[in-house]
Structure formats: C-alpha cells, structure tokens
Amino acid sequence: MHSKQVKKIVIVGGGTAGWMAAAMLACRYSREDLAIQLVESDAIATVGVGEATVPGIIQLHQHLGIKESEFVSATNATFKLGIEFKNWSQLGATFFHPFAKYGAPIAGQAFFDCWLRLKQAGYTAKLDEFSLSIALAKANKFVQPDDNATNQLAMFGYAYHFDATLYAKFLRAYAEQRGVQRTEGLITQTYLQADGNIECVELASGEKIAGDLFFDCSGFRGLLIEEALQTGYQDWSHWLPCNKAVAVQTINEKPPTPYTRSTALAAGWQWTIPLQNRIGNGYVFCDRYISDDEAIATLTRNVEREMLTEPRVIGFNAGVRNKFWNKNCVAIGLASGFIEPLESTSISLIQTGVEKIMDAMPALEYSENTIASTNSLNQQEYERIRDFIVLHYKASAREDSAFWRDVREMDIPTTLQNKMSAYLKDATFLDYGQESFKDASWQTMYNGFNLYPQIPPSNVADLDVQQLMLVAEKMRAAIQAGVAHAPSHAEFLSTLADGKF
C-alpha cells in the first residue's frame, strides 16, 4: 500500500496538548529527519485547567530526561498518591483510589481473592489497610517508591498535581531547545488538497504554513479535525451526563495533601487539587439538574477559602471524535474527545495519543493501514476509560437527588455490563485490551461501592483462613511500620527543592 513520508509536522495549538506533543516529537525524532512547527494564538486562551495526572507522566518525564526537582519547582507541583472519593457510594462514605495494587499474593493467589475469602469468614480489616500508598496519603506523607523493591507491599505508583499554564511553558522551553519552531498567530483558514488532505493553514497575517502531517491540538473546537475535515463526534452524554464545570483557584492555608479529593455533590462532583502555592477547585455538573449560578454558589460556599480567581464556567460534551487520525490530521488533547476529569485521564490520553503516532511511524511514514489500526487502538482506549468512569455513577447507592437517582437507573455500555456481571458472579476481571485501569483499580471501585461477588473465587476456597489471616496481619503491620518512617508531604517537597533527593 502507498505510504506517505513525513518530513514536517505542524502542531496547531499551544496548550498542554500542543506542547506535550512538541516535546515528545522533538525528543523522538532528529531535527534533520523531521521539522516541527507549532502555531498558537495569544488571542485564544488555553483551557487553563487540567492539573491532576496519573503515573504514566513519571515515565514520560524520565524518557524526556526531565529532572523531577526542576519540573516540580517550575510548575508548583505536588505529589499525588491517588484520589480520595467522598460521598460517592453514599453520603458520609469515603474510599481511596491508589496507584497501586493491594497487599501481596498469598500462597500464589491474588491478594484481593484472599481478602474476599477472609472477609467472607468475618475478617474485618478493610482493603485500604493493605495499601502503603493509602496509608501514606491518610497520614499526609510522601516518599518515592523504591525502584528496586522486591516486596510488593512497597511498590506503588505516583503522579503529580501541577499548574497547567506553567507546565506548557516548561515544555515549550524544552521543545524550543530541541528545534521546535514556534509561530504566534491566529489561524483563520485551512486549505485542503483535492484528495481531502490538509494543504496548509493560513494566519490572520496572511502567512501560510504547510506540512505533511498536522496535529490538531486546538482544544474542544477541533479547528482542523472537525471544522476543516468534519470528522464527526460520538456523543456519550447519555452515559456521562455532566456537561459543565465551574473552576476557581483558592489560597492554600494548609500543607498540600498528596492526593486529589473528589467529593460527590447533588448534581455532579467537586475536585480539590492542591498545588504548592494554591488549590484548584471545580464543580463538574450536569446543567439539566442545576443552573450555572447555583453551581457557582455551591462551589464558592464549599471552598471556604479566599478565592484567587473569579469562578469560570467551562462547557463540554463527553465523547470521542469518530476518527483520531483522519487524512493527514491527528487530533490530540481536547480536540480528540473528552471524558470528564474524574480520574485525571485527559493528559494521559495526550501522552498515549502521541506515543501511538510515534509507534505507528518509526520511519516517519504512514499508510491507510497505519491510520486504521491506530484509530482502532485509540477508540478502544477511550471506551475502556469511559466504562471505568461510568461505573463511578452507576454503582452509587445515592438516592438523595434526581441526578443520582437517574445515573443509577441509566443504561450502561454492554462492555461495562459484561465486566460488572463477570465480577459479581465470581470475581472475574475481564480485560478487553487497551485497559488504562487494571484489576486493582476495579477492585477499588467495587469495594468502594460495596459490590462483592456472589460466589467467592474458587482458587482460594480451600485455603486455611487462620493461615491467611496471619499473613494478612503481618502485611498490615509492615505497612504501618513503613508509614512511620516516611516524611510528611510538605517535608518531602522542601527537601526536594533543597536538592537532597
């Protein structure tokens, strides 16, 4: 099949997506082989939110050769061990989603299965008590995991909270040092070739910028992928009805927590994201159940602290672009689709999106087959994340507002239905491939929402309960001892700034 050479990539947009793409491409390809030009407009602001991440970003930074202490100081970052979910399963209930597995296998069997067996036999220790990262988070402590650890109890992942604007600036410096050319200007026109591929974009100044491959990082509007190529959008709002967020920054009166907080409210949920110098807050809501003014009033009331910015309402529509890669245009970031930020997946999708393109083009050429297989992977990845997020609503037992009653009753995707049925039957975790959230994350949710299988897993049915309990208790004690030695999150941040880590 005829393949196309890529000698120049034009990136449209200079938000988190545009500069992440620029940095990753500049690190991967030599400037002799590939020219990269990024166009952004000072007249169009970036979305300005997007401050919580998942652990993939650690590997990304290692790959880019970014020093953690420099990044943390440049972006006012804090560390993130996971997310605390308040009032999700019911009012007053809390659970924590760590970036880690629980416990360690016992007698060769998965810890979760053993714990289910113990729970069934009357053991009262909570699943949370078998996670070092949850114990650290509860104690407001942080320490990096030991990369050489052989004890599974000491293995956990972490991520960051950071200032999105500062992050884009940080990556811009990185990318420009590696040859990325930045052009400031408002794109007013996109020209297509006769075969439907993009020929060039035109700026208000009249300058035309041509390329072989275009990355549309222009945000929700999808300047190239939608406005020029009319790719179409799969609307998932019947599964994910939240369609707006109001965001506000407040002062940080207390030491930052090493985790994000997500608090379920009457018509959605509120995020609390601690940075070193301030807190990012937002209420993600569905405007069928609450007006913008009511959402602003609720958030303003809940944050309690002095506000540093005016509350700002942002609209969105859950779903994914019909094609991630259409003709010679790839959509990255908000231009490619959006799943609400409940599990901080958008920045991760930028990373995996660019990785997919680079994996598909090791020699900087592509064919129709490359496009089709990359699109299929992207669609699957989005659907898997969608299902995981939908579970957060479907599994809730809340009945105190119309919003919660409706999401409990809604139809869910068949793929999610199958996963829930397999788990509830006998603790089987289905894996459809391209799963961003592994078994431990599903265990967190099922346990957090008090969902347990009808039949205990058969692989642990014959294990001796007393023996299991002895081993489990040793794990619990080891975790508590591990936490006792860890520094507070604030101490860790200041020691990192002093260059001692």
Ligand X SMILES: Cc1cc2nc3c(=O)[nH]c(=O)nc-3n(C[C@H](O)[C@H](O)[C@H](O)COP(=O)(O)OP(=O)(O)OC[C@H]3O[C@@H](n4cnc5c(N)ncnc54)[C@H](O)[C@@H]3O)c2cc1C
Residues that constitute the known binding site for 7-chloro-L-tryptophan:
80
Q: Which is nearer to ligand X, 17 or 407 (CB)?
A: 17
- Minimum Å distance from CB 371 to ligand X? 21
Q: Does 469 bind ligand X (CB under 6 A)?
A: no
C-alpha dihedral sign at 349, 354, 355, 360 = positive
Stretch that binds ligand X, among 7-15, 174-182, 234-242, 412-420 (CB under 6 A): 7-15
Q: Does 316 bind ligand X (CB under 6 A)?
A: yes
User: What are the strands of the beta sheet with 233-235, ordered from one edge?
Assistant: 233-235, 319-321, 337-338
Which 344-383 residues touch ligand X, going by CB under 6 A?
A: 344, 346-347
Residues in binding contact with ligand X, number by CB under 6 A: 36
Q: Does 274 bind ligand X (CB under 6 A)?
A: no
Q: Which residue among 80, 86, 141, 419 is the active-site one?
A: 80
CB count within 10 Å of CB 369 equals: 11
- Minimum Å distance from CB 479 to ligand X? 28
Please check whether residue 206 is in contact with residue 323, taking contact to mean a CB–CB distance below 8 angstroms: no
In degrees, to the nearest 5, what angle opens at C-alpha 166 toward C-alphas 261 and 354? 85
- Minimum Å distance from CB 468 to ligand X? 38
Q: Which is nearer to ligand X, 50 or 98 (CB)?
A: 50
- Minimum Å distance from CB 15 to ligand X? 3
- Minimum Å distance from CB 203 to ligand X? 8
In degrees, to the nearest 5, what angle opens at C-alpha 403 toward C-alphas 400 and 408? 85
Residue 228: phi and psi, rounded to 5, are: -90, -45
Q: Does 258 bind ligand X (CB under 6 A)?
A: no
Please check whether residue 136 is in contact with residue 81, taking contact to mean a CB–CB distance below 8 angstroms: yes
Which residue, 341, 397, 433, 417, is CA-closest to 88? 397
Map residues 14-53 to x or -, x wherever contact with ligand X holds by CB under 6 A.
xxxxx--------------------xxx--x-xx-xxxxx
- Minimum Å distance from CB 216 to ligand X? 9
Q: Which residues contact 121 (CB under 8 A, 6 or more apart)?
A: 465
- Give the tokens for residue 72: 């943390």
Amino acid at 169: K
Stretch that binds ligand X, among 217-225, 290-298, 402-410, 452-460 (CB under 6 A): 217-225
Q: Does 209 bind ligand X (CB under 6 A)?
A: no
86: left (phi over 0), alpha (psi -120 to 50) or beta: beta
Residue list, annotated binding site: 14-17, 80, 334, 343, 347
Which residue, 191, 185, 232, 186, is CA-closest to 214? 191
CB count within 10 Å of CB 373 equals: 14
Query: Which helix (DSSP H) or strand (DSSP E) does residue 82 occupy?
Result: strand 82-86
Catalytic residue at 80?
A: yes
Which 277-306 residues touch ligand X, going by CB under 6 A?
A: 282
Q: Does 225 bind ligand X (CB under 6 A)?
A: no
CB count within 10 Å of CB 430 equals: 15
Q: Which is nearer to ligand X, 344 or 447 (CB)?
A: 344
Residues that bind ligand X (CB under 6 A): 13-18, 39-41, 44, 46-47, 49-53, 164, 186-187, 217-219, 223, 245, 247, 282, 314, 316, 333-335, 341, 344, 346-347
Catalytic residues: 80
